[in-house]
Structure 1
Amino acid sequence: MAKWTADDLPDMTGRTVLVTGAGGGLGLITARELARAGARVVLGVRNPDKAAEAIIGMAGTFEVRHLDVADLGSVRQFAETWTGDLDIVVNNAGVMDVPLTRTPQGFDVQTATNYFGPFVLTNLLLPRIGDRVVSVTSQLHRQGRIDLDDLAWRSRKYHRMKAYYDSKLAIVLFSLELQRRLTASGSSVRSVLAHPGIASTSLAAHSPSGFINRLGFLINTPERGALPILYAATQDVPGNAYVGPDGPGSIRGYPKVRKPSSAGLDETTARNLWRATAALTGVGTEVAR
């Protein structure tokens, strides 16, 4: 059976896609391929100059805008200044295994980047989104645990990797609850999940061991790692689909719809997490569409 690749992307002419964290790595590859297929791609990035340099020579229509998803002030400003329609949002921006640093809102930067920022951005842009929201997670969400009383690591002793696991479980639960709310409201917009398996990108650059990028042939190349994101963004998959590599353990391979952990499918936790996040951020009390 033929394996799906970026060559199988549909014609995206007339479509507008926002990709966060698109200044490099999987986000840049995702943006490049969607633009090559005809989409107008907006790169929401912390460093616009770096992103503008990265897309030089790439085919397609791009727009670079400043967006720091860890800073909810930046997220709000970005959403408030958005004009026109928006077909697809790819919540790709992420950090992994970073030291404890606080955002202007007092959240730890890892949870803010990987979860709070995407939550707020998606909710604020939702009235404009016409097709779907793709949230990028990780197989490591299977090791996560949600502490509803301390989502931002204020009372617990901060643990770099546990914060990553938890944030990636949180984004899985966010997708589940978003899809439930969209369905209940009669919306045709879909909330979809994607993960790259283990891909050799700069995501783990802050890790003290750097073990991920030393796994060699066992992991996906960045080009291959972007395929599940592209598949989730463009193919006719059901709401709350979980797209990842088709190989053993979903570590590497080509896109396939799989299943998240049982914790990621817990509807009660998903509802409670949404409420707790809305209380912390002041966003998400309603699905506008």
Structure 2
Amino acid sequence: MTTGFNAQSTAAEVVAGIDLTGRRVVVTGGSSGIGVETARALAGAGADVTLAVRDLAAGQRTAVDITATTGRPVGVARLDLSDQASVAAFTANWDGPLHILVNNAGVMATPLTHTPEGWELQFATNHLGHFALTNGLHRALASEGARVVSVSSAGHLGSDVVFDDIHYRARPYNPWEAYGQSKTANILFAVEASQRWAADGITVNSLMPGVIRTNLTRHIDEEELNRRIRERATAIVWKTVEQGAATSVLVATSPALDGVGGKYFEDCAEAGLNVPGERTGVAPYAIDPESAARLWKVSEEILAG
């Protein structure tokens, strides 16, 4: 599937000409990085945007900035995806329909950390938090049909979901593999959710935003980050945050995606299968329907305790 846009397209270009007046939007992690530009583009198209953020002060500053550039009021609500009580509070407080949910927030390459429940932090935040959030908002999403955007990464190529030891209770911890596992989970979630919720008019797609310098790298040692950049220098094409937000905005709004679900996008187009050794495309294990169904069941079991 092609859309007429590419890796250089910006979020504003992707949404140009699309009227989102009356559409309600939630962007998780909307106070930094590509979340800001995703929210800005959607607000600029007329949407009623809520930033779901851990840091309310940062969210309020971002809301003021977006309002200044778009003329649209922007809401802010607290959401800590690593804290299931926070997720439950957010979903309980949401009232009325929700037309677009952009599951954008995430953490990357953190030191080994377990939540109070014993869940590995990256999996808990990047997947379980968004899994619980989206399920908790299902009624709002289904009321008028909605799009869910699951922001994944080429990092998913680093690991399938290791069902035998998701939370690193026995195997040696590798922060990049753990990140890859959580990003694979983001793609598998889109595959299964689209299957389950098609009759509700909900479509769910995943995407790779591109390589962008944001505070997502805050947990990475500078020397380690520079080493990884040197190793992949010929393969890395840096994007601005406006370009990085473009694929999220396309998946959220493009008329070409009406009724389309369970797909993985990059550079504003549907991606093909990954060729081993390359950093583009989607890994076959990340779109396997049996694995997607298994992850859904396992995620429900984890959350149920």
User: TM-score by structure 1 length?
Assistant: 0.88
Amino acid at match of 1:168: K
Q: Is it true that 1:257 corresponds to 2:298 in the alignment?
A: no
Cα distance, 1:206 vs structure 2? 1.4
Letter in 2 for 1:28: V
User: For residues 196 and 113 of structure 1, what CA distance do their matches in structure 2 show?
Assistant: 18
1:225 to 235, 244, 255: 244
Q: How far apart are residue 262 of structure 1 and its match?
A: 0.6
The C-alpha deviation readout for 1:101-143, integer Å capped at 9, x for no partner, is 2223221221111111011111111111131110000012122
Q: What is the aligned partner in structure 2 of residue 271 from structure 1?
A: 293
Cα distance in 2 between the residues matched to 1:2 and 1:25: 21
Q: 1:242 to 1:158 in 2, by over 3 A?
A: same
Q: 2:210·2:244 contact (CA, 8 Å) conserved in 1?
A: yes
Is 2:11 the counterpart of 1:11? no
- Structure 1, residues 185-241: CA drift from partner, whole Å, max 9, x if none? x22210111211212222112112223678698311111111000101101321112
- SS of the residue aligned with 1:200? coil
Q: Confirm or deny that 1:53 pairs with 2:69.
A: no
1:196 matched to 2:218 = no
Q: Using CA pairs below 8 Å that are at least 6 residues apart, which structure has the higher relative contact order? A: 2
Aligned counterparts of 2:90 and 2:170: Cα–Cα separation in 1: 31
Structure 2, unaligned stretches of length 5 or more?
273-281
Q: Which one-letter code corresponds to 1:159 in the other structure?
A: N
The answer to whether the Cα contact below 8 Å between 2:155 and 2:183 also exists between their aligned partners in 1 is yes
Consecutive unaligned residues in structure 1, runs of 5 or more: 246-254, 284-289
* Deviation (angstroms), 1:62: 0.7
Alpha-carbon distance in 1 for matches of 2:134, 2:165 = 22
Structure 1 residue 123 corresponds to structure 2 residue 135: yes
SS at match of 1:14: coil
Counterpart of 1:67 in structure 2: which amino acid? L
Q: CA RMSD in A?
A: 1.9
Identity %: 36
Matches within 5 A, 1:93-242: 93-129=105-141, 130-183=145-198, 186-208=199-221, 209-211=224-226, 218-235=237-254, 236-237=256-257, 238-242=260-264
Q: C-alpha displacement at 1:2, in angstroms?
A: 6.3
State TM-score, norm by structure 2. 0.84
In structure 1, C-alpha distance between the alignment counterparts of 2:81 and 2:182, rounded to whole Å = 14
Whole-Å Cα distance in 2 between the matches of residues 240 and 155 of structure 1?
32
Q: Which residue of 2 aligns with 1:28?
A: 36
DSSP 3-state at the match of 1:103: coil
CA distance, structure 2, for counterparts of residue 232 and residue 15 of structure 1: 15
State the 1:157 CA deviation.
2.3
In 2, the alpha carbon distance for the partners of 1:205 and 1:177 equals: 31
Asked whether the 8 Å contact 1:68–1:74 carries over to 2, the reply is: yes
CA distance in 2, matches of 1:176, 1:105: 27
In 1: Cα distance, 2:24 partner to 2:103 partner: 14
- How many residues in Structure 1 have an aligned counterpart in Structure 2? 272
SS in 1 for 2:164: coil
Deviation at 1:276, TM superposition (A): 0.9
d(CA) in 1 for partners of 2:172, 2:101:
33
**Structure 1 stretch displaced more, 2-11 or 218-227:** 2-11
